[in-house]
Structure 1
Amino acid sequence: MKKIFLFGFLLLSFMFWGQTLSSELSKQQLSLGEPAEFKINITNITGLDVVAAPRKELLPFHFEVLSDSIQKTPNLYSRKIKFQIFEEGKFKIPALDIKVGDQVLRTIPYEIEVRNSAQKGDKINDILNNKQVDLGIAEYWDLYKFYVIAALAVIGIIALIIMWLKWGRVKKDSPKFESNITLKELDQLKAKKYIEKNDFRSFYVELIDITRNFLSNQYQFPAKELLTEDLLAYMKSQNKISEANEKILAPIFERGDLAKFAKIIPTTQEMETDFNNLRNFVKVSYKDIEFENLRKHV
């Protein structure tokens, strides 16, 4: 009789003073990404410390935890975990150990099945409608600047190739090479706009210098050392320049000398004529050289 009484007393003590753990899962079948809730309640903790996994670390790694809240009173420990799963299949919440004072309590395990509720052929709608965005110059530049830079680089390469084909392929010992050099110098003279400014003295000083340098390099005349009258006589004696070209050069030298010493004031038309005549002479001068070379070999 005493044993029965003692057993009943112990049973009642456990019921009134022991801790009671309960757990609850809101759903055991979920769609992909569907929220669910897992609850743990422990009663009669009588102010004891409750030790469990930290927040958002109680459930396995497949579970995407949305929130993990804990409430504790002297006699109640409550924990609510909201979660989602983004993979299809079956997932387990294992039995979880929770320590209350010196006692370890364990939850029951759960199994969750996650399915993809989308059906083949379902229409998927955007969350937001597409918006029309107006782009300015800065935005277009950011979008296409690399294409513009690449196009400019290609144009630059093509220009270099053209220049090489036009100028670089001419041998330095060819008559055309010296003609090309002089034509560039004439273009530079033209760019200074001496004719437009009516600066006849500067114009003829540079024009005569270019002419003398050309005759020295192209025909090997001592053009830099001889005076104009002596140079014209020397050209005739050498017979390297055609008579027609001699008639072009003579007025240029004579007018140039008079203009340099301000003995005459050439007109704009005369300056234009002298410039164009010299340019044409330089362009065709290689023909005189080729004719002279041919005559030497005959």
Structure 2
Amino acid sequence: MKKLVLLLSFFICANAFSQILSSNLEKKTLALGEVNRFTVKIDNLNNQEVKAAAKDGLLPFHFEEIKDSIGVQSNSYHRNIEFSVFEEGTYTIPELEFKVGDKILKTIPYEIEVVNTAQKDDVINDIMNNKDVKLDVTDYWQLYKWYVLAFLALIAVIIAIIMFVRYGRKSKDSPVVATNQTLKELDSLKKKKYIEEGNYRSFYVELIDISRKFIAKQYRIPADVLLTDDLVHLMKENNTISQDNEKIIEDVFFRGDLVKFAKTFPDQQTMEKDFNEITDFVKRSSKDIEFENLRKDV
């Protein structure tokens, strides 16, 4: 009997001082654009710090966050997120990590179905009966003048393009031009101080967008429209990019995808490393182009 009392006391004490995480999703089925609420609560903090994704960056990119409020007290953490989804389909809120001291707590995943509540057979009734209105030339001009002007502007643009292609100077399209332009864009990204502020989501979105545009222009690979898996596969088949550069692109792009879906939270050192490696890759790209040109000549 004494052992049972001791075990029961130990169990009660362990639960009394351990952190308890709970989460709740208000609705599992949503109409397009309807507001839903997702809440996370952690009790028994005992003045420990809670680390999680940045504000407005907890949910995957499919979810349009409207409001992200965080309440922290000495013994509890409360986070309430209001969001909407504007595309039909089934979406998942994955396991989300919250670090309390040295302990990692995770929420359970949730699945949300988004439906279009409008029906194609819905009848729309007029409030008033239709009236016959007589229009003169001025009325028709007011109705269609912008279409006429747009048509004339389109013709002017087409003529200008033809004249430019036939008589204008061709713009420079050398590897050096693409490299210098991309280095300027990377420098602008660095000045936004996303790394110093820990805004990893915005950092990786812009870094990968700059890299994709550069690969598409420099190597004639449709990196701006391909998924990461398809891009990596095409690079390995194409052999235009050196293996060292391929490895950098593969590592940074896959890490960026994990960040986008809130599956990893890189630290400042990792972001610095990825930025420097992409910058070095851009600077070395001209060597890839020179090697490819030599290979074609042979």
**What band does the TM-score fall into relative to the shorter chain?**
0.3 to 0.5
Q: Rg bigger for which structure?
A: 1
Length-normalised TM-score, structure 2 = 0.42
Higher relative contact order by CA 8 Å / sep ≥ 6: 1 or 2? Answer: 2
